[in-house]
Homo-oligomer: A and B are copies of this chain.
Amino acid sequence: MASSLHSNHTQICPNPTALNGSSASDGKSQISKKPRLYADPPPLFTPSDIISEFSHHDPAVARINNGSFGCCPSLVLSAQNQLQLQWLRQPDNFYFNQLQPKIIQSRTIIKDIINADHVDEVSIVDNATTAAAIVLQQIDWGFAEGKFCRGDAAVMLHYAYGAVKKSVEAYVTRAGGYVIEVPLPFPVSSVDEIVKEFRQALRRGKENGRKVRLAVIDHVTSMPTVVIPVKELVTICREEGVDQVFVDAAHGIGCVDVDMKQIGADFYASNLHKWFFCPPSVAFLYCKKSTNNSDLHHPVVSHEYGNGLAIESSWIGTRDYSSYLVVPKVLEFINRFEGGIEGIKKRNHEYVVEMGQMLVKAWGTHLGCPPEMCSSMVMVGLPACLGISSDHDALELRSFLRDKFGVEVPIYYRPPKDGEEGGVVTGYARISYQVYNKVEDYYKFRDAINQLVDNAFTCASLPIS
């Protein structure tokens, strides 16, 4: 089920224009002196092109987990390889003459895509995990230097990513901050449930005269995955006087709409290697100019310290920066899909919902959220009879699916709530859809689970490792 393609281009190709301004009377030689200013845009990808671009993926695996590590097409990998060779060939020349201009070029492209005002607001870093450390380290200094009072709060979602939670512990709790987790219902039925819990958590944050210094809000939670109404939550933060809002959009660009001015956060981080076809790894951290950002530093300090986060991040010692530099090539790749990144997003969402609904129908279960609350990933309930009763079970079942059935999909364990009857769904698979996926990938998963159910498999029967 590759993306359906239209053969008409939406781009206009202007008539060739004479560069030298001379008349048309010279005949052949004149024509040869009038190069076309605009080449035809490259054609849209065919399904066969797409297979070719991802031919390095293991064909024996139903790879329905784009969410974890993303993907990168061959033509981008080739471009990356060229950059690596340029460095190896003459690194000093690359360092002095190529590296910074190319990073600025990538930052500029990102700035335009995310509707940021100024390229200074866009820093390129390795991943959202690094971005979190950058944002949180300045909170640490705030406590250490007495800008904040001991007990001032930070708010984060209960389903915040594990690394971000640890980062909050390392930089906020340790420094004397009080951390509030916003409980979120799962399965979730509407955005209102999330908004309600968030408001309550903010009120708790402000008890006893505490100031809420930072709110960390996922744009799309990881496990279980749900799209969070960030714009609304940011607005609530402003109303309630939260100092700074950091949106963790590890699943951001290419997955949901990322418009910095729309969303209005102080900080916004998104990986480009998950849903934006970049090689591992590259991400951006947006820092709104109006926010007091002078205290933002990359934790790995180089000679660029003090020149602004974007400049600091563009040199953190000798390393391979090639993944930061392929963004122009990635844009070329994306624009060979109907509708560009918007088209890809839309179709990924439609197909993952379609596949999710196919699976829950086959298994008699349910999705973890309504279709409008998921992006290009969705949580699909697994049959209760599989007996997933712990995080360990979930991981073991995942390994089992990989090793025995060639299906790669992360499994989430959701403890039953008080009062829930037996036979309740406690395990959900997070399926992803990306341009390289086919309906057969999801049939393979459906059939694997059906086979397990038919064989009366339970997680209790897995060996204890």
A positions within 8 Å CB-CB of B: 56-58, 61, 63, 65, 68-72, 77, 85, 87-93, 95-96, 126-130, 132-133, 137, 140-141, 144, 162-163, 166-167, 169-171, 174-175, 271, 273-274, 279-281, 297, 299-303, 305-306, 316-320, 323, 399, 402, 408
Minimum CB–CB distance for A208 against chain B, Å: 24
Residues of B within 8 A of A95 (CB): 68-69
> Which of B58, B61, B279, B399 touches A320 (beta carbons < 8 Å)?
B279
Minimum CB–CB distance for A115 against chain B, Å: 25
Q: How far is the CA of A133 from the CA of B300 in the complex (A)?
A: 6
A171 and B126 contact, Cβ closer than 8 Å, known pairs A58-B89, A89-B57: no
A169 and B56 contact, Cβ closer than 8 Å, known pairs A127-B318, A144-B144, A318-B271: no
Known: A91-B280, A141-B174. 9 other contacts (CB 8 A): A56-B88, A58-B93, A61-B90, A129-B316, A133-B300, A166-B306, A167-B305, A169-B301, A274-B318
Residue of B nearest to A408 (CB): B92
Contact (Cβ within 8 A) B57 A318: no
A129 and B302 contact, Cβ closer than 8 Å, known pairs A69-B318, A144-B175, A318-B273: yes
Contact (Cβ within 8 A) B162 A92: no
> Which of B90, B144, B323 touches A58 (beta carbons < 8 Å)?
B90
Q: How far is the CA of A68 from the CA of B91 in the complex (A)?
A: 9
Residues of B within 8 A of A323 (CB): 320
Residue of B nearest to A128 (CB): B317
Q: How far is the CA of A57 from the CA of B88 in the complex (A)?
A: 7
A299 and B297 contact, Cβ closer than 8 Å, known pairs A92-B402, A402-B93: no
Residue of B nearest to A87 (CB): B280
Contact (Cβ within 8 A) A127 B317: yes
Q: How far is the CA of A280 from the CA of B89 in the complex (A)?
A: 13
Contact (Cβ within 8 A) A280 B320: yes
Minimum CB–CB distance for A149 against chain B, Å: 15
Q: List 16 A-B contacts (CB under 8 A).
A: A58-B93, A61-B90, A61-B93, A69-B91, A72-B88, A92-B408, A126-B319, A129-B317, A140-B144, A144-B144, A163-B301, A166-B302, A166-B305, A280-B318, A281-B317, A299-B299
How many copies of this chain? 2
Contact (Cβ within 8 A) B305 A169: yes
Minimum CB–CB distance for A144 against chain B, Å: 4
Q: How far is the CA of A130 from the CA of B317 in the complex (A)?
A: 8
Residues of B within 8 A of A162 (CB): 302-303
A317 and B126 contact, Cβ closer than 8 Å, known pairs A91-B69, A92-B69, A301-B133: yes
Minimum CB–CB distance for A207 against chain B, Å: 26
Minimum CB–CB distance for A61 against chain B, Å: 6
Q: How far is the CA of A93 from the CA of B96 in the complex (A)?
A: 38
Contact (Cβ within 8 A) A129 B301: yes
Residues of B within 8 A of A279 (CB): 88, 320
Residue of B nearest to A402 (CB): B93
Minimum CB–CB distance for A432 against chain B, Å: 12
Residues of B within 8 A of A316 (CB): 126, 129-130
Q: How far is the CA of A436 from the CA of B99 in the complex (A)?
A: 25
> Which of B77, B130, B166, B297 touches A170 (beta carbons < 8 Å)?
B297
Contact (Cβ within 8 A) A299 B300: yes
- Output the residue of A141, A163, A279, A323 with the most chain B CB within 10 A: A163
Residues of B within 8 A of A318 (CB): 69-70, 127, 129, 271, 273-274, 280-281
Q: How far is the CA of A378 from the CA of B129 in the complex (A)?
A: 40
Residues of B within 8 A of A140 (CB): 144
Q: How far is the CA of A68 from the CA of B89 in the complex (A)?
A: 14
Q: How far is the CA of A169 from the CA of B302 in the complex (A)?
A: 11
Q: How far is the CA of A162 from the CA of B317 in the complex (A)?
A: 11
Minimum CB–CB distance for A402 against chain B, Å: 7
Residues of B within 8 A of A132 (CB): 301
Contact (Cβ within 8 A) B319 A127: yes
Minimum CB–CB distance for A157 against chain B, Å: 16
Q: How far is the CA of A379 from the CA of B63 in the complex (A)?
A: 55
A300 and B90 contact, Cβ closer than 8 Å, known pairs A163-B317, A320-B280: no
Contact (Cβ within 8 A) B302 A89: no
Residues of B within 8 A of A169 (CB): 301, 305
Q: How far is the CA of A408 from the CA of B90 in the complex (A)?
A: 9
Contact (Cβ within 8 A) A88 B92: no
Minimum CB–CB distance for A101 against chain B, Å: 15
